[in-house]
Amino acid sequence: MRPDATGHSDPLVASGAPFVASGAPFPAATHTPQALSFVHRAGRWDLSRQARVVGILNVTPDSFSDGGRFLAPERAIAHAERMAEEGADAIDVGGQSTRPGGAGPVGADEEWARVGPVLEALAGRVGIPLSIDTYWGDVARRALDVGVAMVNDVSGLRVDPALADAAARAGAGLVLMHSRGAPAAMHARYEYEDLPGEIGVALAAAAGEAQRRGVARERIALDPGIGFSKRAEQSLEALRGLPRLTALGYPLYIGVSRKSFLGAWSGRPVGERLAAGLAVSVAAYALGARIFRTHDVRETRDALRAAEAVLAPATETESAESRA
């Protein structure tokens, strides 16, 4: 078991040797749409021709991009309604800032105090599924009781595996993200011998654990964790490795919106990273990603529709139906 930058070993990274040890080649990048879907409590997303866009709603005082702007429930609700109008397929609500250099993690009770009133107000109001961004099983359970459709766990079940139990009981969708280290150390410097392979090992192990706890395979999506436990150049390496992750057979969920790795090579501050983020999102779509978490819903949706028109053109029958 190889130690990480904090001197501790990550059991998920050490557990799934077949992904990298078999020596089998992984498929090259393809522009053919994956015949995949993602099932959550509110329905099924057909991802074979249309990518999905998840709007970010941070109910935190210190998020890297919009910290504090939507901490008040009424402002959070207005922003969620705006993203729904812009074409979001879901809203991901989080009360825990995971930005580099942030104030550090908060406990489940404080996190729920931030997100609970917003989720309760939004349930049944915005007309699209809600997602809870948490690694605490208790927060996930309470959010599911309110009616959220999916759970987004940035720890990939490393912090609280019981989160998968709550998702399974509710029949919710579950997004498992790659990261390393304890919550306070997710942005430490880590070294990898084969980054895409090690991401795949960890995510395959997490998905296996979720299924052992009762989450159906069709309800799981995987996120390579761009910007988490990865320096800027490592985030780019993870993106280039997306075709290898498609071999696992799960939908790929990705978030690059306004992240620091975009600024590392563009030199742009947070508020000026839209163009870079859209370019990377389109590249990620071409490499196999199908669900995109973003602050900029309208722009991301338009960019993906354009990418789909080029890379996955509609059939003659579909074109005729759209003109009818």
Q: State pLDDT tens for residues 253-267.
A: 999 988 878 877 778
CA dist 33 and 30 (Å) reads 8
- Answer whether residue 229 shows pLDDT above 60: yes
> Which tokens in the block code for residue 162?
């019981």
State yes or no: pLDDT of 6 exceeds 80.
no
Indicate the pLDDT class of residue 63, thresholds 50, 70 and 90.
low
Is the per-residue pLDDT at 182 higher than 80?
A: no
Contact in structure between 120 and 159 (CB atoms under 8 Å): no
Instruction: Using the predicted structure, report yes or no on whether residue 238 has a pLDDT greater than 60.
Output: yes
For residue 13, pLDDT over 50 is answered with no
Quote the pTM value.
0.84
Instruction: Report, as residue numbers or ranges, the catalytic residues.
Output: 259, 293
Task: Quote the mean pLDDT of the chain.
Answer: 84
Pick the more confident residue, 167 or 27.
Answer: 167
Please tell me the predicted confidence (pLDDT) of residue 318: 54
pLDDT in tens, 82-97: 999 999 999 999 998 7
Looking at CATH, the fold of the domain delimited by 40-323 is given as: TIM Barrel (3.20.20)
d(CA 196, CA 243): 9
Strand order in the sheet with 253-255: 220-223, 173-177, 150-153, 130-133, 90-94, 52-58, 291-294, 253-255
- pLDDT recorded at residue 101: 56
Say whether pLDDT at 25 is over 90.
no
Say whether pLDDT at 65 is over 50. Answer: yes
Average the pLDDT over 284-305 and give the result: 97
Q: Where are the domains of the chain?
A: 40-323
Question: pLDDT digits over 29-40, tens only?
Answer: 443 434 489 999
What pLDDT is recorded for position 102? 57
CA of residue 134 relative to chain centroid, distance: 11
